[in-house]
Every structure is written in structure tokens, then in C-alpha cells.
Amino acid sequence: MKKMICALILLSFCVLNAQNEGVKYDSLWQGNLKFGQTSLKVVLKIFKTEEGNLSAHLDSPDQGAVNIPVTEINITDDSLMFSVASIGASYKGALEKGGGKITGIFKQAGYSLPLQLEKTDKAAEVKRPQNPKRPFPYIEEEIVFENKLDKIKLAGALTLPDRNGKFPAVVLISGSGPQDRDETIFNHKPFLIISDYLTRNGIAVLRYDDRGVGKSEGNFSSATTEDFMKDALAAVEYLKSRNEIDLDKIGLIGHSEGGLIAPMAAASSDDVKFLVLLAPPGIPGKDLIPLQTELIMKAQGVDSSTIYRTVSHLRTVFEIITNSSDSLTAYKKLEELYKNEIAGLPEEEKKKPENGFEAFERKAKTYLSPWFRFFLKYNPSWALENVKVPVLALWGGKDLQVPPEENMPPLKSALENAGNKRVKTVVCEQLNHLFQKSDTGLPLEYGAIEETIYTPALEMIKDWIKETAGAK
């Protein structure tokens, strides 16, 4: 769930104020930040503006973040210092003799990490070896279909086996946050790979840009999970119009929040004949977000007292939101909570930007958005208890965002309450939330891992669909 990912580098924009101390550093520098067994590439691009001032951008290629403005940079004969206000980061390093290396400390979010930057002519490219290369041995069509209820058109791609016949088909439903049809995250394209793999194995696949993303119409920010369900059912309606599709073999594959949406759709429509749920939540968002926050902070080595304060604060905030009748009432209560918490801080802490009123307002805007309020309150069991079709549910054993230990039991219980006996649940050990082989499960690793999806997980999905839907 990208909305809850705690990543090192976050894309944002800020006003640049650079100091010009010379042009000999007009160059490209690259290094690796190491967090335990995780390593993230960092690229610093130093250049002159048209006005002749010194400027710089910071990239985190593994996380797909590029051209983050450096707000201040200071270069002397033997040192380099810079800061990046938008991500709360700074660096101070010493230039080694010969001028090819800078050794220093990178600071962000309370971490102080060694970072050696080396001068290079070309930054290393991020490798994504699983991305399929065209031409494909199957048919790929650009398509547009309509969500008639909300009167918006959604754009995507339909891939079909290149032979005669009627094929089983699946609609891919992405996780939270604005997603393109490939569910692109940190330069990974999970849905492109799933689509390619399944279509090569006789299964038609429809994937689409979320509303308001890419070529799709609509407003993403005002939509809720329930709205996204209507988009998914519109995709099913489109498949029903295609002669190549077997109408008795249309299923949904949902990842993360998509694993929440798919059961909602199946409970609402008899046209959905099976479900594949990848890292599906089994508990309400008000419980899931504090849980994932705690697990991620523990894996990052944060001290227990800080974790306790953070998680307790989240639970208090979410209790206010879920128990308030409307957003205005919730906002007033959140503002009162903020003022009480700030009043108890030392003066030095009060002055920090992250504790300022503007920071509070940004968080409140997120927490009180239509999507967030719905997600906090919604219990997955409400739909799951009405799902009668076959279900395959997979989790990664190292998933820190939707951990199987807390999410699988309530999901299984809800399906049992539905009287559904055609259910298979699997925990894939060593895999993270994206179904990559992972050391820690931390979201920080997602971009650093070259693998996009563990191939045996793809095989499991394909084999189950073939067995369930009779694909050839």
C-alpha cells in the first residue's frame, strides 16, 4: 500500500537557494546508502543554472525518485555540504585527494549513515530483468471502457493469446495510491509481468490506469475504495462484450487494497467467477495502519518508546476519525489533540517543522480525505462473508504492510462464514508485500531488489487459475 510506505526518498518540490563556490564540481556523483543488508543508490547531479549559480538535484534511482531539488549546497576546495528540505535530508563530506571521492555522512529522519560519493560519467541504470520485451507472442490491444455509474472512461490494455478460442480472463486491480495499468512502483511493473506471464499461458488479462491516472478520466483524490470497485466491475462488463472471452471464466486479481476491492466486487456481481487475492487485508484500516507502522519501525531498529508513542498517537487519531459523524467534527477534535500534544513539548521541539501547524494541517487533510476515512472504517469481512466463488489468497511471509499472521485468520473466518469451501490460502515464506524475495520485508528494499515478482508465486497463480477456470 503505497500510501503507507515509509521510504527513504519522497518526491516533492521546494524553492532552491544555492551557493556558488566554484564550477569544478559541475559533475555527477554516485554512492550507496546501506541500511543493514539493504543498499540504495544515490545520485547527486551538480550543475550551473543559466544565471551561472551552482545548483544540484538528488536522485534515488532504486525508488524511482529523480531530480529532487537540493535547497542548499556549499562546495570548498576539500568539502561538500548540501541539504534537501523536501525530504529533511543533509550531507557533509570531505573530498579525498585526487578529487574522485567524497566521504561523509548522510542524515535523514534521525539516521546518520555513511555515504561515499564517487565521481562518474554516467549513473548506473536500475535493472528490472523481469520486464518483458516487445514484440510479444500474443495480442495486445489499447482499450477504453466506461464506468457508466460515474460516467467516466477508463483506459488500459487487453492481452489475448494469439490463437482461436474463448479464453478465461482476469482483471487486475491495483493497490492504494494512484496507479498506472502496470502498477508501477520504484521502476517495477508488477502488473505488466503478471499480464505477460498469464497471457503466455492461455489467460486473457485486462489491466487499466486508475481513474485520474494516465489516460483514464475521473478524479482519483475524491474517490473511495467503493468507487474503485465500480471501476473494476466496469472492466468486467467490458470483458463480457468481447467474443474472445469465456463469460463463465472471468476472475479478478487484486493486490493489497485491490485484495479489498475484489471481494467487494465479487459480492456485488455474479459475473465474477473467481478471485486471486495478493496480500489482501483481513482487518479494518484503523487496525492495519498502526500494525504496519509498528512492524516497519521495529524492522528499522527504532527504539520501543518511540514506537509506542507513534502507534498510540495513530490509534487515538483514528479513533477520533472513526467515531466522528463528519470531517469538520473530526478536524476540530484533531486540532484540539494537536494543541494539547504540542503544549507538552519542550520549546526546542515546538520549533521543528514537523511539529508545526502546517504539518498538522497536511496530515489532517490526508486523514480526512474520502478514501482515508472509508479505509479506516471498512471491515473486509463485510464483503468476504458474501463471497461464494473460488478464492486463492497469497501473502508474503515477510510482508510488513499486510502481515499474514494478523490478516489471514479473519479472512479465512469470513469466507467460512460465507459457507465457501473453495478457498486456498498460502503464506509464501521469504517474500515481501510485492512478492519479491526479501531480506527484511522493509518497503525500503522494494526498489533495491532487482526481482519484481518471485517466479514460483507467478506459477502458483497460473496453476490455480488453470485448475479453477480450465485454461488450456
pLDDT at 471: 60
pLDDT at 444: 86
pLDDT at 369: 96
Write out the E strands in 267-390. Answer: 274-278
pLDDT at 12 over 70: no
pLDDT at 25: 54
The candidate with the shortest Cα–Cα distance to 251, out of 283, 288, 277, 224, is 277
pLDDT tens-digit readout, 175-234: 999 999 999 999 999 999 999 999 999 999 999 999 999 999 999 999 999 999 999 999
Phi-psi region of 237 (alpha: psi -120 to 50; beta: other; left: phi over 0): alpha
Q: Classify 2-120 by CATH class.
A: mainly beta
pLDDT at 434: 98
Domain boundaries, the chain: 2-120, 138-283+379-469, 286-375
The one-letter amino acid at 242: R
pLDDT at 353 over 70: yes
pLDDT at 20 over 90: no
Q: Is the dihedral of CA 66, 67, 68, 72 positive or negative?
A: positive
Burial class (CB in 10 A: 0-12, 13-18, 19+), 169: buried
pLDDT band at 66 (very low <50, low <70, confident <90, very high): confident
C-alpha cell at 332: 476540530
pLDDT at 123: 81
Asked if 171 and 239 touch (Cβ cutoff 8 Å), the reply is yes
Asked if 104 and 74 touch (Cβ cutoff 8 Å), the reply is no
C-alpha cell at 194: 503478471
What mean pLDDT value characterizes the chain? 91
Consecutive H or E run containing 104: strand 101-108
pLDDT at 263: 99
Give the integer Cα–Cα distance in Å for 125 and 75: 27
Q: Average the pLDDT over 103-119 and give the result.
A: 90
Q: Please write down the long-range contacts of 100-104, taking CB distance under 8 Å and 24 or more positions apart.
A: 102/29, 104/80
CB atoms within 10 A of CB 341: 14
DSSP string, 426-438: EEETTB-TTS-B-
The torsion defined by the Cα of 397, 39, 401 and 463, in degrees rounded to 10, comes to -50
pLDDT at 15: 29
Asked if 275 and 259 touch (Cβ cutoff 8 Å), the reply is no
**DSSP 8-state class, residue 220:** S
pLDDT tens-digit readout, 128-137: 999 999 999 9
Q: Average the pLDDT over 430-457 and give the result.
A: 95
C-alpha cell at 459: 506459477
pLDDT at 3: 43
Percentage, residues of the chain above pLDDT 70 = 94
Give the integer Cα–Cα distance in Å for 180 and 209: 4
Look at 264 and 109; give whichever has higher pLDDT.
264
Consecutive H or E run containing 262: helix 258-268
Residue 467: phi and psi, rounded to 5, are -65, -40
pLDDT at 422: 97
Give the integer Cα–Cα distance in Å for 232 and 254: 10
CATH topology of domain 138-283+379-469: Rossmann fold (3.40.50)
The 10 Å CB-count burial string (b at 16+, else e) for 398-434 is bbbbbbbebbbebbbebbeebebeebebebbeebbbb
pLDDT at 16 over 60: no
pLDDT at 5: 39
Give the integer Cα–Cα distance in Å for 137 and 84: 46
Give the integer Cα–Cα distance in Å for 28 and 46: 6
Residue 79: phi and psi, rounded to 5, are -150, 160
